[in-house]
Structure formats: C-alpha cells, structure tokens
Amino acid sequence: MLLTLDSGCNEQNSLTEQSRETSIVPVGEMHLLRNSQKSNPGIGSDDLSINQNAYAIATGNGSTINNSFGQFVLSGVSGNGNLGENTQIQTNSQGNSNPISLNTDPITGNSISSVNGSTLGNNATSGTSTTSGNGATSGNSATTDAGNTMGTAVNWAPLNGWYRNSESIGSSDTNDYFKFSLTTRSDFNVILSGLSADADVRLLDQSGNQIISSANGGTHKIGGTAYSVSTSEAFNTILNAGTYFLRVNSYDGVSTQYTMDFLAKPTTTVSDWYSQNLKDSGIINWARQLGSDGQLSRSDMMLIFRSATDSTSVDSNELTDFRTLVNNSSRFQMIDSVRNLSNKIANGSTANALYQGQSLGNLYSGSSATQLDKLVGKWFLGNDLPSTFVPANGSTPARTISYGLANTSGLSGRNQLLYGTDGTINVTDIRQGYLGDCYFLAALGAFANNSQRASNVINNMFIDNGDGTFTVRFYGQNDGTVTTPADYITVNQYLPTTGGSQFAAYDNQNRGLWVALAEKAYAQFAEMGTSQRPSTANNYGSIEGGWGFRVMNSITGVTQGGVYANYSKVGTATPKGAFLSLSQISSFLSNNWALSAGTISNPGLGIVGGHEYTIVSANTSAGTVTLYNPWGPNSRTGESTGYRTLSYNDFKANFNLIDVG
C-alpha cells in the first residue's frame, strides 16, 4: 500500500496506478481509502473507507462493506465483490440484499461464518444477538437487560478477545452499564452500531470517572460525501489491568437497538499518544507524521498551525490540540525557541494585540484562518516589522522608515550573513545611526569586545532558521534582575533603508547584519513589556534612551554585575557600589566581564554628553582607559577611528556610571 498524508482538506490524492494498489489517507481515527484502479468493476469506481477499527467502503453501485474489529460484512450487493485478500463473496442469482459476513477472531485468526443472522463455527454460540470467536470467555453474552446504574451493572468475566453484545435503550431505559475487568494491559476498542437514534458510549473507571467517550451527532463529510455519525460510535484506548465500566446512554430519550462490538487485546506496546491526546483529525495526522522521529521542529509546528488554515476558522478542537502539543514540548524534544514561539500562538501573548499596526488579538475558538496565519507570520517569520513611523525624540525629529531586503550578495552561510565576510564578531561592527539607543549598542559592543563573550553571548543570541529569518533570544529583566525565562523574537532581513544612517549600520562586507538584526529584534521585543521600556509599542522609538546594565542581563539571562555609580539611584536601580577604580575596571575586564560607561550631560574633551561608550581596555601602568564610541569613526576630537583613550582622571571626571554584565 501507498501511505499518504491528508492536510485536512478534502482533496483527493493522486497516486501512481499499481495492481489494485490502494492508498490510506488518515483522517483522525478514520482513514479515507480510495482505490487507485478506477476501472475496477467489482466494487465501484470511487471506493470510500473508514479504516482503523471500522471500515465503511461505499461502492460505486451502492454496496457497502463494514468491518468491526475483524468482522467484515458485505451487504446490499448487486454484483460480485471482493472481501479480504483472497475471499470472494457473491450474492445469489436473485440479487437479494441479505447480509453475508466473514467474522475473524483478531486474537486467534479463526473465522466464523454467519448467514442471515444465524451463527455457526468453532466455539460460537447460536442465536442472533451474540457472536463469539474461538477463545472467548462465557462473559461475552448478555442475556438480560443491562442495569441502569454502576451498582446494577451487568458483570462480565475478565475480557481477552473480541466480543459482541446486542441491547436496546430508550425513554424508560436511559442507561446501560456493563462492568468488566482486564487482567493485563490491553488495547481496548469499542464500536456501537446499528443505531436508529442517537446514543453515546462512555468508558469509566471503577470510581465512575470518564476515561474516554464517543458522543457523535449530526453528519460530517469524508471525501465530499456526508455521513451520519449518530448511527455509530467508536473509540480506542490503552487500559492497564483493572476494573472498568461501559455506559451506553440515549442522547435524547428516543429508543434504539444497538450492537456493541469490543476488542480487548493484551499489549505491551505504547499507545498511540496522538489519538489519545489530540482531538482534531487533521492535526492528529500531521503531528503523528511529523513527530514520528520523536521531534517537532520549527517547520513542523508551522505546518501543524497552518494545517488549520485550510478551513475558514479555528475550532475548539484545533485550539486545544495546539495547546496540548505546546504543553507536551518535552515529549517532542521541541527546542526552547520553537516551544516559546508556538506558545505565543497557542496560548496567547500581550504582544498579539497588534500586527503591522492593525488589531490582531490572541487565538480563540472561532478565530479566522487569516488571524492564525498572521500569528504564524508574526512569530515564526518576522513579518510584523517595527512601525514605519518613529516619533520625535528630544532634538531628533520624527522619522519615517522604508524597509528593504538587505543586500547579502557575496555572503555565504550563517556566520558571513551575521558577521560579514570575515565571519567574526568585532566591536567595530557597531555603528549607531540617529536612533538614541547608544546604551544598547554599547552593551553589544562590550560583549563583542571580548572573544569569549562574543562567542558565548552574541553568537548564541541568534538562531539561523535557514529561510532568511533569524530567531533572537532575550530575557525579561527589571533593573538588571532577570525576571523571565528565555524569550524569542523572529526577525527577517528587511531592514530600514531610509536615510542610510538613521539606524544601526549593516553591509555585505565585514560588518554583516548582526547589529541591525539585534536592534530590530530589541524594538520588537519591547512589545512583550518585560524589557523595562517606557513604551511597549513595536517601534524603534520604544528603545530610545536607557542604561546598559539593563540590557546586559537581558542578553545573558543571568542576574549578575550591575551598575556602579556615586549615586543612591540610577533610574530606579540601586548601584552595586561606587564608581569603579582603574584597578577594578582592569580586574573585571581580565575576568571576561562586559563593561560600558555613561557620560555626564556636559562633558569636555569632545566627549559626547548623555551617551554610553564601550570600555575596551584599562592600562593600570599607564593609568588609562580605552573606549569605543558606538557611533564608530566620527569627527569628534580623538575619535577618528571610533576609539578614544583617556587618563583615568579624565574618564572619572566625564563619566558618571559603569555598567557591568
């Protein structure tokens, strides 16, 4: 057989014709079966089947084949039909519609033949209400009406095999309870059929708690054909040894006969987690297929989310399944970034309020497929770019952004895309534009300045998704204290192009994209409301103004270091200590700490006021401190290369705080 996967839509799969080759396309616990040999005259040109434990193959001439746990019934036949691999059943010459069945005990493989309701065969009981295969226990036949409570339930012997029970239920007999026990872990299957009115079947533990149920009603479509699902109920589960109850109840009090087939087969295999824990047939099939390697990757989760966009809206089962998969991320070895981004789609986020400046909102039962698609685009593809309008900031006027795809020609592989042709992280990669985020860029420069921190911190911030996007990691913080686990933002390679120098520089030479991508991601991260920004808008303006000590631990995820200043407060933060001495600065740098420093409002020596620089080195012998201005090479005195060396006394006179991270 050829096995193919249905994405949830009802399109027929195209198959290469083979000799009576068939394909099974999973649709939840049911499978859509189509014969690839359309010229087959025996059973019709468009065969439909429900496969798992029950088959309903609708033939082209109106014939139907049903299978209930090993029982195959061919009825309503007007011509020849094939049943099973080598068994051929033919109606009589008068073409009557009396059913002819081939019953197979799924445990022993022995068969029992039944014609017009009479039962024959090895160890089979006679009569019309009960059929037993070889090896069945005496508890397989109910001769009296089942009790209406758990206390009066018909008590069956321990089950091990295939069983059938026929009964009725209705207005005066609204519940039938059956008690049974299992002596070993078993694969337990139930199908309730032959209903003329709506009835449900439920499996209960010995305390009466529901384990699983089937409560269908109305109709649903398979392959474009509508089927009544109130005429049958079915479920499958794995049960441990113990005592259980089956409850059959009338949905609306209308009387109906019913036949209950069930199979208890000892098993040591692991149950099908997907059908046991998920509800939507399409998601069950996608998750089972994509998770067959024990993992659900970023692309896997994107496919699963988008499988629900085949219809016009997200229903409650799909929403529940999304959340179930996220809540079981460890089962699928889902990496942290995929779990985090999937969680924002399935369980919501404050950042879901807007998308590209328009109202969006969290996913809910009834959400449109368009809304779901936008959420996937926002979190997995970086499609929700920071606003194109950046408000004025102090003397800097308002700015309007145009975005363009970054030119990466000549760059090959992750490291060149991020870090330029030399593939290395350097403090000189940083060149600030007119956006007032010197504190952020100086902090990045402080990590880039140390090769060990560049590798462990900067390099680990970025995940290359291989599709032109990068996932960037941050942590929530408050005054340098980390407040959240790792959080993730996806950015694409559409970067600001207006004015050239308005935002962090990038190129396809030695600089690469990493600084511009980090700046953009930090602007998007403001929406999360955990970075202690005065604005939570997805806007570059949200990240103007700040202190490096808040950024450093937001990048590392470790509460360490802090701010050192001769003040009682820096913003709302209490300094860790006084402004550092030269020897302390040297010691921190020698121990691979990242350091940046903030200036007073009106410094001398051509130093930029109200600005943060990266501390590059400290020379205790010469008594000097070397700094790097995030502006890069500029016309300021002493900063033609971007670097500036000061005596420690000049440094202390013009700078008032030091960030350590």
Catalytically active residues are 438, 611, 629
Which residue shows structure tokens 């440094």? 651
Cα atoms in the 13 Å half-sphere on the side-chain side of 4: 18
Q: H-helix or E-strand containing 368?
A: none
Type of residue at 411: L
Buried b (16+ CB within 10 A) or exposed e, 118-150: ebebeebeeeebbbbbbebeebbbbeeebbbeb
Buried b (16+ CB within 10 A) or exposed e, 539-567: bbbbbbbbbbbbbbbbbbbeeebbbbbee
Cα atoms in the 13 Å half-sphere on the side-chain side of 595: 25
Pairwise CA distance, residues 453 & 590, whole Å: 12
Whether 420 and 510 have beta carbons less than 8 Å apart is answered as yes
How many other C-beta atoms are found inside a 10 Å radius of the C-beta of residue 5?
Answer: 15
Residue 250, helix vs strand vs coil: strand
Pairwise CA distance, residues 418 & 513, whole Å: 5
Q: H-helix or E-strand containing 582?
A: helix 582-590
Which residue shows structure tokens 């089950």? 159
Please give the C-alpha separations between residue 77 and each of 84, 195, 403, in angstroms, as whole numbers. 16, 22, 67
Pairwise CA distance, residues 553 & 633, whole Å: 28
Name, in order, each residue with C-beta under 8 angstroms of 365's C-beta and a sequence gap of 6 or more.
314, 315, 316, 319
Pairwise CA distance, residues 537 & 534, whole Å: 9
Please give the C-alpha separations between residue 598 and each of 71, 445, 570, 608, 613, in angstroms, as whole numbers. 81, 14, 11, 10, 7
Q: H-helix or E-strand containing 646?
A: strand 643-647
**Phi and psi for 352 in degrees, rounded to 5?**
-80, 0
Concatenating the DSSP letter of every residue in 487-523 gives EEEEEESEEE-TTTTSS----SSSS-SHHHHHHHHHH
Pairwise CA distance, residues 58 & 499, whole Å: 67
Pairwise CA distance, residues 79 & 59, whole Å: 11
Enumerate the H helices of 349-437 as residue ranges: 369-380, 413-419
Whether 291 and 304 have beta carbons less than 8 Å apart is answered as no
Whether 442 and 427 have beta carbons less than 8 Å apart is answered as no
Pairwise CA distance, residues 76 & 91, whole Å: 9
Name, in order, each residue with C-beta under 8 angstroms of 405's C-beta and a sequence gap of 6 or more.
493, 494
Please give the C-alpha separations between residue 430 and each of 426, 507, 539, 613, 633, in angstroms, as whole numbers. 8, 11, 20, 11, 10
**Phi and psi for 578 in degrees, rounded to 5?**
-70, 165
